[in-house]
Amino acid sequence: TERAIQNFVEMFYSTYEIVIYSISSQPNDPLFFHFPKEVQIKHLNQDKIPVSAKKKIFWFPKVFGILKRNLKNSKTDFVLGMGHNVNFLLSLINISVTRIYGAEHIDLDTIPRVSKFLMAQTYSKLAGLVVLSEKARSKAVKLNPNIFIIPNVIHQETTDYENEVEECANRIIMVGRISAEKGFDRVIPIAKYLQDFHPTWKIDIFGDGPLKNDLVSKFDLQNITNVRFCGATKNIKSEYKKSSIFMLTSYTEAMPMVILEAQSYGLPVIAYKNEGTELLIQNFVNGILAETHEEFCKGLGLLIENQNNIIFKFKIESDEKLKEYSEKVIKSQWTLLIENQL
């Protein structure tokens, strides 16, 4: 979601005056993503949304009041909420001159039951709801009469693919928040497969999250030595360039931008099948999708051995698919919505 905000800002900061309301940050907090100096970031200095239902009872009204005061004083024309915890609050703010939309960047089926109930009661009050795919639209259609499909944008990179692969052989890269839904527990048997059948290959994981320490301990207990937890990096571009294969083990995704990023750097992608990966990957056309551990390891072996030059074929198809998510295409869709022409 943060990357989606950054990409949105980069598309429009020279056209519109943009203000970002960051609920749980303070002015001196380091920013992981870069934003142009023309963009104003208002730090609302609130606690992060609590896990406890009891604490949420107090958190939501407090944040609602702060958002309402800020938006009523800002004379904003267009508001875009990012995620259900914010969107249902925004739907309750009534400002006659402001059009308020919500955007969803996760699989709607994975949203907790209480949140779904709140969405069902409030989302109809939004001017519209932006989702990433037709499948997401079919799930959201009961929430609001105005559903708009606008996928994430990706910037196509130009790389000397042949040279990059030769330079960085035998490295598999993973990128993402280390949390339960990302399926990093699935890496353990995959790493064991590599140790047994492709011992010169390594997996590097870039990202941080609440399960990192627990996973590191599990890998140590299993005596897995071919996986490194590299932490978060602001220069993921150079890490893609030093890798040979991109791997995604998520249980659920809506539209994983990391797949588009990896493909834009010429990397072949292998992932477990879910709503988001099926949206971006056509099996054995521009990547590999697996449903079982056995299928995953078999596909990974094909990429490692590059049978029948499969990696080059995937790259050709990926380059064509990426055109659907180019800045020119996605920016035009957003512009129509912002200018109220949809």
The arithmetic mean of pLDDT across residues 335-341, rounded, is 95
The arithmetic mean of pLDDT across residues 89-116, rounded, is 93
What are the contacts of 288-294 at 24+ separation with CB within 8 A? Answer: 293/186, 293/189, 293/190
pLDDT at 75: 84
- Report whether 59 contacts 47 (CB < 8 A): yes
194 CB-near residues (< 8 Å, 6+ apart): 201, 202, 203, 226, 300
H helix or E strand, kind and range, residue 53: helix 53-74
The model carries a pTM of 0.90
pLDDT at 31: 76
The arithmetic mean of pLDDT across residues 219-242, rounded, is 93
- For residue 133, pLDDT over 90 is answered with yes
Nearest CA to 152 out of 329, 340, 287, 336 is that of 329
Structure tokens at 155: 């910037």
Strand 78-82 versus strand 40-43 pairing type: unpaired
pLDDT digits 0-9 by tens, 289-332: 999 999 999 999 999 999 889 999 999 999 999 999 999 999 99
pLDDT at 285: 97
Confidence of residue 28 (pLDDT cuts 50, 70, 90): confident
pLDDT at 168: 59
pLDDT at 23: 94
Measured from the Cβ of residue 58, the count of other Cβ atoms closer than 10 Å reads 12
pLDDT at 157: 62
- For residue 91, pLDDT over 70 is answered with yes
Measured from the Cβ of residue 87, the count of other Cβ atoms closer than 10 Å reads 25
- For residue 119, pLDDT over 60 is answered with yes
Q: Please, is 262 exposed, middle or buried when counting C-beta atoms within 10 Å of its C-beta (0-12, 13-18, 19+)? A: buried
The arithmetic mean of pLDDT across residues 194-209, rounded, is 96
Nearest CA to 83 out of 193, 186, 164, 4 is that of 4
pLDDT digits 0-9 by tens, 156-172: 665 554 444 445 579 99
How far is it, in rounded angstroms, from Cα 148 to Cα 129? 6
pLDDT digits 0-9 by tens, 29-47: 887 788 999 999 999 999 9
- Report whether 123 contacts 86 (CB < 8 A): no
pLDDT at 3: 86
Neighbouring C-alpha atoms within 13 Å toward the C-beta of 329? 14
- For residue 246, pLDDT over 90 is answered with yes
Confidence of residue 231 (pLDDT cuts 50, 70, 90): very high
pLDDT at 342: 78
